[in-house]
Amino acid sequence: MSQHALQLPFSKRWNHKREQWVPRDAVIDPNSLSVDIIRDGVAKPFIQEHHYSGTFPASVCNVGLYLNNGVHPSCLIGVIVFAVPSNSATMRKYTGFDIDAACTIARVVLLPDALYNAESWTLTRATALLQQEKPHYRALLSFADPLERHNAAGELTKQMHYGQIYQASNARFCGRTRPRILHLTPHGLTVDDRTISKIRGADPRDHSAIENLLAAGAPCIKPKQTPRHWFSELVTSQWLRRVKHPGNFAYAFALDRYAKQQIDQLWGPQAPYPKKPCLQDIPHPLRTLPASLPSHYL
């Protein structure tokens, strides 16, 4: 682990979109675990069931983490999704490579059955499988979102994330993305920029963006109302809340020596990792941690 990384006394896990925790003394047994490439039909329902966003990205490779106890059939307890980057400019900015040579770590979801240290153990082996399956990739990029989310009632729906797993895996910290405005539903879910562009552009070939908002409880489009005006009304009525986002933390991974040289030249000396505040306030014993912690424990 990098000297800049922060080792926490617990690790985050997911279970039906809720964050849960495993303590440091519950260490994994590597002999009971295995990883394998899995198809979208296996990875997608797992991500939709357990990840807080409930969404599955445009995958280029999925890796499943399996628990093998020698008695029952292997059980899927985690999924890592490597995905198509949103745009070439972002990949070039942070890794120096275009989207044909770099992809993103879009989802890392482990169940509580994956004990402490399972994240870095799984990510290392998942990356090796990606290189075997897609040898043209030279670098990886991922982001950690430090902004909490709340629903319309003020209840916490997403904790702040600082990229602990990437820090533990010695990723290169590349600063923050630019600040932006988020649009949140009453349930605290983010409407991504691609969805907003589709609605405002009124692409007649794609109705999924509108259907997704309607499924989330948005008012129906009025007769003769254009999708663009409908979306604007969702904002002005505050059904969609506008929230200022300070920018995500960016992390880059080099998959070979040349990529490491490229990323090192791009970013210079390694910057210190961002730290999570108030760690001295972590409660004990750790096994009594609630399913949802205050944000400063994350």
pLDDT tens digits for range 177-207: 999 999 999 988 888 888 888 888 866 566 7
Residues 6+ apart with CB under 8 A from 95: 102, 138, 139, 140, 141, 252, 259, 262, 263, 266
Residues 6+ apart with CB under 8 A from 38: 62, 63, 64, 76, 79
Place of tokens 């990949």: 91
**Are the C-beta atoms of residues 200 and 185 closer than 8 Å to each other?**
no
Determine the pLDDT at residue 298: 28
CA–CA distance, 2 with 159 (Å, rounded to integer): 24
Taking the CA atoms of 119, 122, 127 and 128 in sequence, report the sign of the dihedral they define. Answer: positive
Domains in the chain, ordered, with CATH? Answer: 10-179+247-270 (3.40.630.30), 192-239 (no CATH)
**Are the C-beta atoms of residues 98 and 265 closer than 8 Å to each other?**
no
∠ CA(273), CA(286), CA(28), 5° rounding? 75
CA–CA distance, 230 with 157 (Å, rounded to integer): 26
Neighbouring CB atoms inside 10 A of 128's CB total: 13
Determine the pLDDT at residue 3: 43
Instruction: Report which secondary-structure segment, H or E, holds 63.
Output: strand 59-67
CA–CA distance, 152 with 238 (Å, rounded to integer): 10
Percentage of residues in the chain with pLDDT exceeding 70?
A: 81
Determine the pLDDT at residue 17: 65
**Are the C-beta atoms of residues 196 and 188 closer than 8 Å to each other?**
no
Taking the mean position of all CA atoms in its chain, how far away is CA 230?
30
CA–CA distance, 243 with 182 (Å, rounded to integer): 5
Give pLDDT < 70 ranges for the chain: 1-14, 16-17, 19-25, 70-72, 202-206, 277-298
Model pTM?
Answer: 0.79
Instruction: Report which secondary-structure segment, H or E, holds 253.
Output: strand 249-254
